Amino acid sequence: EAGVAQSPRYKIIEKRQSVAFWCNPISGHATLYWYQQILGQGPKLLIQFQNNGVVDDSQLPKDRFSAERLKGVDSTLKIQPAKLEDSAVYLCASSLVGGQGANYGYTFGSGTRLTVV
Amino acid sequence: EDKVVQSPLSLVVHEGDTVTLNCSYEVTNFRSLLWYKQEKKAPTFLFMLTSSGIEKKSGRLSSILDKKELFSILNITATQTGDSAIYLCAVGNNYGQNFVFGPGTRLSVLP
């Protein structure tokens, strides 16, 4: 089966510019996650979608970050305006189902490395 | 707030050595613990642990969970240079399917 696809792989922007990342999950996976991984740290959840609805966005900095998952398949994550501290790898992951009772982990994409200068 | 701690944060060994990586956690209503290997960008799944005392094995890697003492270990025997990576531990609770990740252990295996 094809994996989780993300693009672009790398992005360098100046602070205060905007940027968007794209994710295509594994076919049939209802749940999609965006994680931010700052160098030297573990991934931190930004937002979790179940189909096209948001399950958890409690750690998403909503003043500058936004995400959508139209039609419950692909997703985009946007940062506007970017700050230096947004430099990180942005990982997308997907799984078959979400919520209580699920008994497996999920599959990550290769990520997008963002550098804000 | 759920919390995952890993130790050591960094480890350098020589090929053939055996290593033990540690993961301790505090989580409300624990459901499962995952181990991932991250070589470049995408973490790849290694193990999922839900029950205490049952060892999971895959080749030279093995892992076990202690739900009473709230920790897990990941063992790698006869290490190879290809084992060099960051090993991430993540814990999930019964309230949802997202997982809280630890900071990872960076393992370097020298020839």
Q: pLDDT at position A97, please?
A: 66
Q: Which residues of A touch B91 (CB under 8 A)?
A: none
Choose between A43 and B1: higher pLDDT.
A43
Q: Which residues of B touch A4 (CB under 8 A)?
A: 42
Choose the closest CB to B94 out of A55, A100, A113: A100
Q: How far is A4 from chain B (nearest CA, A)?
A: 10
The token pair at A91 is 């990982």
Choose between B30 and A79: higher pLDDT.
A79
| Nearest-Cα residue of chain A relative to residue B87 | A42
Residue A104 has pLDDT above 90, yes or no: no
Q: Residues A48-101: pLDDT tens digits?
A: 998 889 988 999 999 999 999 988 899 999 999 999 999 999 999 988 765 433
Residue B64 has pLDDT above 80, yes or no: yes
Number of neighbours of residue B46 by Cβ within 10 angstroms: 18
CA separation for the pair A89, A72 (Å, rounded)? 23
Residue B17 has pLDDT above 50, yes or no: yes
Q: pLDDT at position B95, please?
A: 67
Q: pLDDT at position A70, please?
A: 82
Residue A102 has pLDDT above 50, yes or no: no
CA separation for the pair A63, A84 (Å, rounded)? 15
Choose the closest CB to B102 out of A35, A42, A111: A42
Q: pLDDT at position B96, please?
A: 62
Residue B43 has pLDDT above 80, yes or no: yes
Using CA atoms, how far residue A43 sits from A92, A94, A101, B76, B102, in Å, is 10, 14, 23, 23, 8
Residue among B9, B3, B8, B7 at smallest CA distance from B90: B3
- DSSP secondary structure code for residue A54 in this structure: E
CA separation for the pair A93, B43 (Å, rounded)? 10
- Pick the most confident of A27-41, A94-108, B94-108: A27-41
Q: pLDDT at position A67, please?
A: 97
**Amino acid code (one letter) for B10:** S
Say which range, A100-104, B9-13, B89-93, B100-104, has the weakest mean pLDDT. Answer: A100-104
Q: Which residues of B touch A110 (CB under 8 A)?
A: 40-42
Q: pLDDT at position A105, please?
A: 65
**Rounded mean pLDDT of B45-51?**
89
Q: pLDDT at position A29, please?
A: 87
